[in-house]
Amino acid sequence: MADDDGADRETPRRQALATGIVHDFNNMLLALTACMELVRTRSTETRIRDIAGRGLDSIERCKDLVDRILVLGGVEPPGERGEAGGATAAAPEREPLILVVDDDNDVRLVLGELLHSLGYRLVEAADGAAALAALDRQPDLAIVDCELRGQRGTELAGQLLDRRPGLPVVFATGYSEAAPADPRLSAAPFLHKPFRISDLANTVAAALRP
């Protein structure tokens, strides 16, 4: 019985460790994905574009590794991630201002580059306080990471809506998160890291649509 009790106590620790590794790993994969996307779209050399494409294929294969890490930690891998493929949606003629809230410097950098390449303006925030202050800039949409240092992104999103009712929110996540408890956020879409530029374009365009 003592052994069973020890195993029961060990399971949550292993699950937390696995999901934490997956969260950080997916952040790194997103940074790599964005870099490969930018190289492929901006390079004029066919060979360089092909190499970047192979890099993106390798990153896709890493998703199987992520699932294996979760299994080893006793966590059920997420099912179909629902990523959008196909042609990249065009940004509106007016340049909306996107608030990006993420505590990972590399993620903010590459996400900003992707959004700029899609024709959007950007305001960045590394934490909740900076995000709330950025509301003075009147952003048209907020992309909020689900796991911030010291605060859950779903809670911060609710605070943003308290001050700016109706602000469209898109969640970015390095792991399959539970749906937000706040009913105002029940329909908020999720971008599962590492997402492609087409996923970002289509999700943001849909969220901004009246």
194 upstream amide cis, omega within 30 of 0: yes
pLDDT(169) > 60:
yes
**Chain centroid to CA 40:** 21
Which two tokens mark 152? 């859950």
Cα-Cα end-to-end distance for the chain:
59
79 pLDDT band, cuts 50/70/90, is low
The DSSP element (H or E) to which 58 belongs, if any, is helix 46-72
Q: What percent of the chain has pLDDT over 90?
A: 36
pLDDT at 1: 47
Which two tokens mark 182? 């706040």
pLDDT at 99: 97
* Mean pLDDT of the 178-203 span: 89
pLDDT(86) > 60:
no
* Mean pLDDT of the 163-190 span: 88
Q: What is the CATH number of domain 97-208?
A: 3.40.50.2300
Q: pTM (2 decimals)?
A: 0.71
Residue 183's identity, in one-letter code, is P
Query: Which residue, among 122, 112, 115, 140, has the nearest Cα to 200 in the 3D structure?
Result: 115
